[in-house]
Chains A and B, each alone.
Chain A
Amino acid sequence: MSAVFTLDNLTFSVPERVLLDGINFDLPAGQVTGLVGHNGSGKSTLIKILARQIQPTGGTVTFEGRNLDHWQTRAFARRLAYLPQHLPAAEGLLVEELVALGRYPWHGALGRAGQADRDAVAGALTACGLTDLRQRQVDTLSGGEAQRVWLGMMVAQDAACLLLDEPISALDIAHQVEVLTLVRKLSHDSARSVVVVLHDLNMAARFCDHIVALRRGQVAFSGTPGDMMTPEVLQCITGTDMQVLERTGGLPVAIPE
């Protein structure tokens, strides 16, 4: 299994605190990787570093075999799409216009939007179930719909790797399942690598192929969802005693003692 990201002794610190403390691991390509951990564990910082939104204070990150610093801005955006945790207000934009912004890395500031761009936008609208909404204004949509529109923008970006920072934190359970199902489908249908920051361990276990858990800026666990679902591992990740309930026909579920 090849690695899309390789992290080598990655460190990030602010004046009073070390947020990431010498992290080493590989993220598998073509799979959905869940990044979990308690509040302040550094998962959001880590995904921002992977997305080149912030600069690490030490260590190196390699993306597709090349050091993160050595990527050209637009070339990077063609390979990797990032969705921030808090979505900006898309003031006045229509759904199809926002999705079409994902083509920027391909046509740049001045290039013409060609047939390939139009096809990619149409494909993204279909893949995310936005065809009926395409003429709506984004700021009139519900939370779940808006989240799908932003996912659509990432799909149109046609990147091989998607980074999602807590994409379901503001959604109800039905929309959480809907969005994560879509994310999983996007990954498996076209072998995209996805890194998704999640809060809910059960959701992470249900939808991810691989889990990385952070605790106080260090890797507490890295492995498959099945391996994570043991009381010992869960205790180590969450810092609280967890009970694992077996379930017929699926992964066990974890609840606090």
Chain B
Amino acid sequence: MPGNAVFFPTFFAGVALSLWLLSAAPYLAAGWPAYPFDPEQMSFDHLLLIFGLVPRGVVALLAGALLGLSGALLQTVLRNPIADPSSLGISAGAQLALVSATVLAPGWLIWGTWPIAMAGAGGATLLVMAIGAARAFHPVTMVIAGMLVALLASSVAVALTLSQGEYLFSLVIWNGGSLVQTGWGPAGSLAAVLLIGALCAALLARPLGLMTLEASGAQALGLNVAVLRAMAVALAAVLAASVSAAVGLVAFIGVAAPAVARAIGARRSDQLLLYAPLAGALILFLCDGVVLTVTAGRLEMFPTGAATGLIGGPLLLWLLPRLRATVPPPARDILPRASHPRRLLVTLCVTLSIGMIGFVLLGRTPEGWVLLDRASAEMFLPQRLPRLAGAAAAGGLLALAGAMLQRLTANPLAAPEVLGVSGGAAIGYAAVLFTVASPAPLVLTLGAAVGGACALLLLAGVVLRREVRPERVLLAGIAVSALAAAILSVLMAAGTARSFALLAWLSGSATTLTTASAAALFTLLLGVLFVSWMILRWLVILPLRADTARGLGIPLPMAWGAIVVSAGLATGAATLFVGPVSFVGLMAPHLARRLGLARAQDHVAGSVLIGALLMLAADFGARMASFPYDLPLGLFASLLGTPWLLWLMIRRSR
């Protein structure tokens, strides 16, 4: 459709420009200021225009182009249509550096945000690259390592934010990527970065073209694949970090721009590298135009970066049927297989029981650590037991959902958090929080349940219309997650007390767990475990791809339905009580597999035990670390699980 390929970009460029001009109109009462622009001679309106609105538009274009280029580079080199700067931990690293500097060493900020953001992004990227280096920067390893590093960085950043109370709300605004400008400095810097980045990308374009072949094919053509991957990723990191430093976290452009470029006909990697920055610039400029028009001077600091997901999420859903998703090639390394899986499972079981009993008995008073005696047991047990048991059950549910989804899609990146169910539940929760005056806990719970169910329905709607394909589900889930994240950022950027309540719930807390809800979670865990046992043979065969499964006579639509519904229910319920936490659903199955639990039944059981263990320990840590205050549960779960998994990944590569 070459006609569409010209018409749509032109049309949207026209819309974007009109929106921008519309918001510039109030400043144009006295016409355009005359060149040369001399601040001394200019009216206030003209000052706002030349040093505010015009550089803002330019920054939107430049930042969009940079992110588009960065995303295109990463997607080409990692052969993964959903890779973007945030999925490699680049943006989260920059965010953590800035938050830490603001909290711990505010003095450093006198040199501006650039060096700090660069250092953070560089550190995160180096960590990811160090893990990837041992396996020639294999795409799947890189993306998993990137997600883990991003998770770790953002948990630490949120912990710091929460520890400082509302003081750091300006950082939430920064996180959202406000494009407000007060001069031409950032625009100039971004332009310089784009110029150099474009030059480097042009030099890399031809070797990257060969990368679209399998890595081995590229190698045969005389290409040093590892060096090329490292160079391209480093370039992408610098581009994304400069945007982070200048305007903060701008969601979604990195993944949407290359998708749009492909949809309008970019097939080769050099075309992609050319069109993706253009698409990125256009999308961000358009988003900013919408934000300018909607806020019309009222909410000056409203972050455009948060709003990009509002447009980008639906855009990705719309593009989905048109995308030819390439599944990332399977990891080459052979994971260990335990010779006595049962022993391992028993060890996990024993650890879990000891942990359960120990954490129930062990408490902290202002005087120090104490074990419960008979008298205080009566007082504390009704509080502690449901909380610990509920947290463990929630962890088990998330891990079970993750294990089932990873087996179903044969994709190690599948996880309930990635599929948008958690995000949907969070939106439901937020909707109740912001619309009902002072909502009862039950109403909030209901809101989250409805939100999760809606996300699941949306997902099912997108997926079931076409032939069911695993990678489609993943992409749809990511679109839903991005949409949810965008809505949440917008709500948080409002900066009210409700925003803070939302932030606290988002990081997860088990304080709301009662005996009844813990029992409900536990029952559901048993129920879903029963389902997974019933379909165990499907879970063994499904990782061998749809054609094998069909050949063996598995009713695929039924298998799909059963797994998606169970995983959705499990995630939704866990999310209700402990927040959309933690990526336990992503991490626990990986941990189980890397410990050597290979057979489906061992893998599923091990995932559940590890998920429960992670959440149990996280709850204890959250309760004790800054006694008498509770810290976020999800935060602790990621703080415990991420380093463990990273260590297993690094250790394996030796």
Contact = CB atoms under 8 A, between A and B. Distances in A.
B498 interface: no
5 contacts: A51-B550, A82-B547, A84-B547, A92-B598, A109-B537
Contact of B553 (A53, A78, A92, A140): A78
Interface string B532-550: 0011111011011101101
Contacts of B554: 73, 104
B594 to A, nearest CB: 11
B625 interface: no
B555 A73 contact: yes
Nearest to A51: B551
Contacts of A108: 537
A189 interface: no
Given A97-B599, A109-B537, A92 B552 contact: no
Contacts of B552: 77, 101-102, 104-105, 157
A110 B534 contact: yes
A227 B636 CA distance: 73
Interface in B401-458: 410
List 8 A-B pairs, minimum CB-CB distance, nearest first.
A77-B553, A92-B598, A74-B553, A82-B551, A88-B545, A105-B553, A89-B330, A84-B547
A53 B467 CA distance: 12
B370 interface: no
B553 A76 contact: yes
Nearest to A157: B552
B338 to A, nearest CB: 10
Interface residues on A, range: 20 to 34
B337 interface: yes
Contact of A73 (B548, B553, B603): B553
A91 B541 CA distance: 11
A105 B555 CA distance: 11
B20 to A, nearest CB: 39
B4 to A, nearest CB: 16
Given A91-B410, A92-B603, 10 more contacts: A73-B555, A81-B551, A91-B330, A92-B593, A101-B541, A104-B537, A104-B554, A105-B553, A109-B538, A137-B337
Interface in B538-584: 538, 540-541, 543-545, 547-548, 550-555
B526 interface: no
Contacts of A52: 550
Contacts of B598: 91-93
B334 interface: yes
Interface in B567-614: 593, 598-599, 603
Which interface class (under 10, 10 to 19, 20 to 34, 35 or more) fits B? Answer: 20 to 34
Contacts of B25: none
A77 B537 CA distance: 15
B346 interface: no
Contacts of B551: 51, 53, 77, 81-84
A18 interface: no
Nearest to A163: B551
Contacts of A93: 598
A241 interface: no
Interface of B: 330, 334-335, 337, 410, 534-538, 540-541, 543-545, 547-548, 550-555, 593, 598-599, 603
Nearest to B545: A88
A73 B555 CA distance: 7
Nearest to B339: A135
A178 interface: no
Given A76-B553, A77-B551, A92 B335 contact: yes
A109 B534 contact: yes
A109 B542 CA distance: 12
A69 interface: no
A90 interface: yes
Nearest to A165: B547
Contacts of A94: 337
Contacts of B553: 73-78, 104-105
A78 B545 CA distance: 19
A24 to B, nearest CB: 25
A246 interface: no
B604 to A, nearest CB: 13
A238 B551 CA distance: 31
Interface string A109-132: 110000000000000000000000
A90 B334 contact: no
A139 interface: yes
Contacts of A83: 551
Most-contacted residue by chain A among B335, B536, B553 (CB, 10 A) = B553
Contacts of B335: 91-92
Nearest to B335: A92
Nearest to A80: B551
Nearest to B407: A91
Nearest to A104: B552
A91 B538 contact: no
A83 B330 CA distance: 19
Contacts of B545: 84, 88
Contacts of A91: 330, 335, 410, 543, 598
Interface in A57-97: 73-78, 81-84, 88-94, 97
Contacts of B540: 97, 101
Residue among B334, B337, B410, B544 having the largest count of chain A Cβ atoms under 10 Å: B544
A107 to B, nearest CB: 8
Contacts of A139: 334
Contacts of A101: 540-541, 544, 552
A77 B500 CA distance: 57
Contacts of B593: 92
A110 B555 CA distance: 14
A53 B337 contact: no
B365 to A, nearest CB: 47
Contact of A53 (B330, B543, B547): B547
A81 B554 CA distance: 13
Contact of B548 (A75, A78, A84, A140): A84
